[in-house]
Amino acid sequence: MREIVTIRCEECKRRNYTTTRNKKQQQEKIELKKYCRFCQKHTLHKEIK
Ligand SMILES: [Zn+2]
C-alpha cells in the first residue's frame, strides 16, 4: 500500500511536490530539502495532512 503525500515549502507555503510513502515503513511526517522554484533555492519541505 502506497500513499500519495503532498509536501509543501516551509518558507512560501506553496505545494511544490508530491511523493509516495509506504505507510507501514514510514510513520513519521516527511521532511525533505528540495528546490523551491518560488523561493528559487533549496528549502525545507514538509508533508501536508
Ligand atoms: Zn518556497
Question: What pLDDT tens digit does each residue of the chain (49 aa) get?
Answer: 788 999 999 999 999 999 988 877 767 888 999 999 999 999 999 999 7
CATH label of the domain that carries residue 11: 2.20.28.120
Laid out side by side, the sheet with 41-48 consists of 15-22, 2-9, 41-48, 31-36
User: What percent of the residues of the chain are helix, what percent strand, and what percent coil, each to the nearest 5?
Assistant: 0, 60, 40
Number of separate domains in the chain = 1
pLDDT of residue 38: 97
Distance 21 CA to ligand 1 centre (A): 22
Distance 16 CA to ligand 1 centre (A): 8
Domain of residue 35: give its range: 2-48
pLDDT of residue 26: 67
pLDDT of residue 13: 97
Bridge partners for 33 per DSSP: 44
Cα atoms in the 13 Å half-sphere on the side-chain side of 33:
2
pLDDT of residue 22: 83
pLDDT of residue 3: 86
**In what helix (H) or strand (E) does residue 19 lie, and over which residues does it extend?**
strand 15-22
Distance 6 CA to ligand 1 centre (A): 14
